[in-house]
C-alpha cells in the first residue's frame, strides 16, 4: 500500500484526470438541478449563486487586498436600482442594463476607495459602514427617481428566444443558468486577475504595503482599482437579483446584507477562490434551514438563534473557512506539487584555471 500522502505533480496526467472528474461532476449536478428540481429549490440555489457573485468581488477586496468593507450592500443596491430604473423608466432591455450597472458601480467603488489611500483597518471599515447605513435613506429621499419606500415593481426578464425556454414557465430555469453563467465569468476573471502581475501586487499590498511600494507597486492604483472591480461585481449581482425578484425597495439593501456578504466570505474561506461559492451556499441554505426550524416549532427568534449557533460552530471547527478546512484535510491524503520554476539560462560553467567558486543552481522547493 502506498504511503500517505500521495504526491501528484501539478499538470500531470493524474492531476488533470482528477480535475476533469470534478468538472464533470459539477456539470452533471447543474444539469440535474435545472431539469429535475422544483421551482422553489432551484430558486434557492439561484439565490446562492447570485450572492456568490457579490462575495467573489468582496473576497478580492478583503481577502486578497486586505481592505475592509462593510458597505457592499450599497454597491449591490446601486446595481439593482440602476437596472430597475433603466427598465422601468427608460424601457431598456433587461440584459443590456448589466453593462451600465457594472460601469456605475465601478466608478462609485473607485470614489469610495479613495479614502483607502489614507485610512486602514477599522477606520476604513467605518467609512464603508457609513455608506451602507446611508444608502437606504438616500433611496427614500430621492423618491421621484427610486420610488421611495415603495420601490420599483413589475420588473420582468423573460428567457430570450435563443435559449429555447418557454417564457414564464421556465423562468426559474432561466435565472439559474443566467446566475451560473455570470458566476463562472466573474470567478474566471478573479482567477486570471490573481494569477497576473496585478494579483501579485494585490497580495503584496495586503501583506506589507511598505515593502510592496519599495518593489515598485503602485499602491494607490491597486487599492482604488480593486475597490472598483469589487463594487462592479457586487453591482452585477444586484442587477440579477432585482430582475429575479421583479422588484426593488430600500429594505432589501440594508447593513444586514453587507454583514451577510462578509459572513459568506468568512464561512467559505477568505483569500481562497472556491471560498465565495462554498460560503454562499452554506449561508443561503443554512439560513433557510434555520428559518424553517423556527417556523416549524412556532418559536419567534429560534431560527436566528439556530443560525447563529451554526456560524459559531463553523468558526470553531474551521477558522480558515470550509475550503481551508478541506485543503488541510486533503493535504494529508494528496499533495499537489507545483511545477518547478523554469531557469532563464543554465548556470555558467567555471573555467578550469579559475579560482572562483562554481555557481550551482539551488533545487526548486516543491512546497513554495
Residue 15 has a pLDDT of 87
Give strand pairing partners of 7: 335
More confident residue, 343 or 60: 60
pLDDT in tens, 258-310: 999 999 999 999 999 999 999 999 999 998 988 888 766 667 677 778 888 88
Residue 367 burial class via C-beta count within 10 angstroms: exposed 0-12, middle 13-18, buried 19 and up? exposed
More confident residue, 11 or 245: 245
> Above 80 in pLDDT, residue 137?
yes
Range from 107-111, 196-200, 360-364 carrying the lowest mean pLDDT: 360-364
Residue 347 has a pLDDT of 55
Question: Predicted confidence band at 360 (pLDDT cuts at 50, 70, 90)?
Answer: very low
Which pTM value belongs to this model?
Answer: 0.91
Residues 221 and 240: their CA atoms lie apart, in Å, by 29
Task: For residues 148-176, give the mean pLDDT.
Answer: 93
Question: Predicted confidence band at 76 (pLDDT cuts at 50, 70, 90)?
Answer: very high
C-alpha atoms less than 13 angstroms from C-alpha of 274 in its C-beta half-sphere: 9
The alpha carbon of 38 is separated from its chain's Cα centroid by a whole number of angstroms, namely 26
Question: Predicted confidence band at 207 (pLDDT cuts at 50, 70, 90)?
Answer: very high
- Ordered alpha helix ranges (H), the chain: 13-36, 39-58, 72-88, 98-113, 121-141, 143-146, 171-194, 197-207, 209-214, 219-245, 255-268, 275-297, 302-317, 321-330
Range from 20-24, 159-163, 336-340, 347-351 carrying the lowest mean pLDDT: 347-351
> Above 60 in pLDDT, residue 6?
yes
Range from 34-43, 89-98, 177-186, 326-335 carrying the lowest mean pLDDT: 326-335
Residues 161 and 167: their CA atoms lie apart, in Å, by 9
Residues 157 and 168: their CA atoms lie apart, in Å, by 9
Range from 10-14, 215-219, 359-363 carrying the lowest mean pLDDT: 359-363
> Above 80 in pLDDT, residue 340?
no
DSSP output for 288-320: HHHHHHHHHHT-TTHHHHHHHHHHHHHHHH-TT
**H or E stretch including 6?**
strand 6-9
Please give the mean pLDDT across all residues of the chain. Answer: 89
* Owner of C-alpha cell 437596472: 83
Residue 290 has a pLDDT of 84
Residue 266 has a pLDDT of 95
Grid cell, residue 226, equals 480593486
Residue 310 has a pLDDT of 84
Q: Which residues contact 358 (CB under 8 A, 6 or more apart)?
A: 347, 349, 350
> Above 60 in pLDDT, residue 361?
no
Amino acid at each position: 500500500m502506498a504511503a500517505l500522502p500521495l504526491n501528484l505533480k501539478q499538470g500531470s496526467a493524474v492531476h488533470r484526470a482528477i480535475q476533469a472528474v470534478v468538472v464533470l461532476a459539477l456539470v452533471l449536478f447543474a444539469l440535474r438541478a435545472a431539469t429535475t428540481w422544483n421551482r422553489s429549490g432551484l430558486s434557492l440555489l439561484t439565490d446562492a449563486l447570485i450572492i456568490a457573485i457579490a462575495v467573489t468581488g468582496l473576497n478580492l477586496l478583503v481577502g486578497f487586498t486586505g481592505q475592509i468593507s462593510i458597505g457592499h450592500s450599497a454597491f449591490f443596491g446601486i446595481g439593482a436600482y440602476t437596472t430597475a430604473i433603466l427598465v422601468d423608466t427608460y424601457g431598456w432591455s433587461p440584459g443590456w442594463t448589466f453593462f451600465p450597472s457594472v460601469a456605475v458601480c465601478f466608478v462609485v467603488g473607485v470614489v469610495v476607495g479613495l479614502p483607502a489611500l489614507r485610512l486602514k483597518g477599522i477606520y476604513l471599515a467605518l467609512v464603508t459602514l457609513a455608506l451602507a447605513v446611508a444608502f437606504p435613506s438616500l433611496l427614500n429621499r430621492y423618491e421621484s427617481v427610486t420610488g421611495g419606500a415603495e420601490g420599483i415593481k413589475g420588473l420582468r426578464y423573460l428567457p430570450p428566444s435563443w435559449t429555447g425556454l418557454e417564457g414564464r414557465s421556465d423562468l426559474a430555469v432561466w435565472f439559474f443558468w443566467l446566475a451560473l453563467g455570470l458566476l463562472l465569468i466573474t470567478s474566471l476573471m478573479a482567477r486570471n486577475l490573481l494569477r497576473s502581475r496585478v494579483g501579485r501586487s494585490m497580495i503584496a499590498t495586503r501583506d506589507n504595503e511598505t515593502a510592496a511600494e519599495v518593489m515598485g507597486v503602485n499602491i494607490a492604483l491597486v487599492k482604488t482599482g480593486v475597490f472598483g472591480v469589487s463594487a462592479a461585481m457586487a453591482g452585477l449581482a444586484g442587477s440579477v437579483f432585482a430582475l429575479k425578484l421583479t422588484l426593488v425597495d430600500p429594505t432589501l439593501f440594508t447593513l444586514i446584507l453587507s454583514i451577510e456578504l462578509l459572513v459568506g466570505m468568512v464561512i467559505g474561506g477568505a483569500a481562497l477562490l472556491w471560498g465565495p461559492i462554498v460560503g454562499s451556499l452554506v449561508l443561503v441554505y443554512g439560513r433557510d434551514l434555520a428559518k424553517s426550524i423556527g417556523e416549524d416549532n412556532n418559536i419567534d427568534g429560534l431560527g436566528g438563534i439556530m443560525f447563529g449557533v451554526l456560524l459559531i460552530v463553523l468558526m470553531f471547527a474551521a477558522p480558515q473557512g470550509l475550503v481551508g478546512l478541506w485543503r488541510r484535510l486533503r493535504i494529508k491524503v494528496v499533495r499537489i506539487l507545483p511545477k518547478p520554476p523554469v531557469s532563464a539560462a543554465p548556470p555558467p560553467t567555471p573555467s578550469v584555471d579559475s579560482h572562483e567558486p562554481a555557481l550551482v543552481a539551488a533545487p526548486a522547493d516543491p512546497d513554495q
